[in-house]
C-alpha cells in the first residue's frame, strides 16, 4: 500500500485523535487513562508520546483541531439565500442542530474538560451573531415583525443547544413558528 513516512505519521496522528475523542467522550478526560487511549488506538502508551507531549496536549489538540467553529461558519453560510425568512431560519437552526449532533462526542469532551465555559461562550457568541444579523436584516426589510434580534438569536440558539444536550432535540420549525408566527411575519 506504499504509504510514505509522512503519510503514515499523519494517519497515525489522526487515528490517535479519533480514538481519543471516542474514549474521552465515553469516560471523560480525567476518567480516561493513557492506557485506555492507547488501547483504543491499538498502539502502546509510549507511542502516544511521539505524537503528543502529554495527555493534556492531546486534549488541546482535540479542542483546537477538531473544534467545530469553522464548520459552524461554513454550514451557516450555506444557508443564507433568498428563500423566505422562516425557511432560511429553520435551515440555519437545523444546521446548527446537526452540527451539535455530529459532534456530540466533542461537546461532551468540552464539558468534561472544564473548558466548557470558554468553548461554549465562543460558539454561542459566533452563532448568535450570525443568526442575529440575519434576523435584523429581515426585520429591517419588513419580512419579520420588529423584534429584539440579539435576544431572539440567543433564545433560538439556547433552545437548540439545550435540546441536544438533554437528549430531546427540538423541532426547529415549531420553534421558529413560536417566535415568528406565520400570521404576523
Q: Does 71 bind its own copies (CB under 8 A)?
A: no
Q: Does 63 bind DNA (CB under 7 A)?
A: no
Out of 26, 28, 49, 137, the only residue in the binding site for DNA (CB under 7 A) is 49
Q: How many helices (H) and strands (E) does the chain have?
A: 10, 0
Cα dist from 49 to 30, 53, 113, whole Å: 18, 6, 20
The answer to whether the beta carbons of residues 120 and 110 sit under 8 Å apart is yes
Q: Does 10 bind DNA (CB under 7 A)?
A: no
Cα dist from 167 to 23, 65, 160, whole Å: 20, 26, 11
Burial of 130 (0-12, 13-18, 19+ CB in 10 A): buried
Q: Does 32 bind DNA (CB under 7 A)?
A: yes
Task: Please name the residue that has the C-alpha cell 454561542.
Answer: 124
The answer to whether the beta carbons of residues 86 and 134 sit under 8 Å apart is no
Q: Does 8 bind DNA (CB under 7 A)?
A: yes
* Segment interacting with DNA, rule: CB under 7 A, options 54-62, 72-80, 95-103, 120-128: 54-62
Q: Does 18 bind its own copies (CB under 8 A)?
A: no
* Segment interacting with its own copies, rule: CB under 8 A, options 48-56, 77-85, 86-94, 158-166: 158-166
Out of 54, 83, 87, 101, the only residue in the binding site for DNA (CB under 7 A) is 54
> Which chain residues interact with its own copies by CB under 8 A?
28, 30-31, 111-112, 114, 116-117, 120-121, 124, 147-148, 151-152, 154-155, 157-159, 161-163, 165-168, 170-171, 174-175, 177-179, 181
Amino acid at each position: 500500500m506504499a504509504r510514505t513516512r509522512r503519510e503514515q505519521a499523519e494517519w497515525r496522528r489522526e487515528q490517535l485523535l479519533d480514538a481519543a475523542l471516542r474514549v474521552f467522550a465515553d469516560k471523560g478526560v480525567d476518567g480516561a487513562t493513557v492506557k485506555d487511549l492507547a488501547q483504543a488506538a491499538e498502539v502502546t502508551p509510549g507511542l502516544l508520546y511521539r505524537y503528543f507531549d502529554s495527555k493534556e496536549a492531546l486534549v488541546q489538540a482535540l479542542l483546537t483541531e477538531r473544534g467545530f467553529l469553522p464548520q459552524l461558519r461554513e454550514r451557516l453560510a450555506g444557508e443564507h439565500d433568498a428563500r423566505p425568512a422562516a425557511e432560511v431560519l429553520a435551515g440555519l437552526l437545523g444546521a446548527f442542530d446537526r452540527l451539535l449532533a455530529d459532534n456530540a462526542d466533542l461537546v461532551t469532551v468540552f464539558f468534561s474538560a472544564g473548558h466548557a465555559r470558554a468553548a461554549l461562550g465562543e460558539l454561542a457568541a459566533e452563532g448568535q451573531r450570525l443568526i442575529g444579523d440575519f434576523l435584523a436584516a429581515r426585520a429591517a426589510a419588513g419580512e419579520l415583525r420588529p423584534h429584539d434580534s440579539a435576544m431572539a438569536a440567543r433564545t433560538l440558539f439556547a433552545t437548540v443547544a439545550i435540546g441536544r444536550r438533554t437528549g430531546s432535540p427540538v423541532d426547529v420549525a415549531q420553534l421558529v413558528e413560536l417566535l415568528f408566527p406565520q400570521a404576523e411575519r
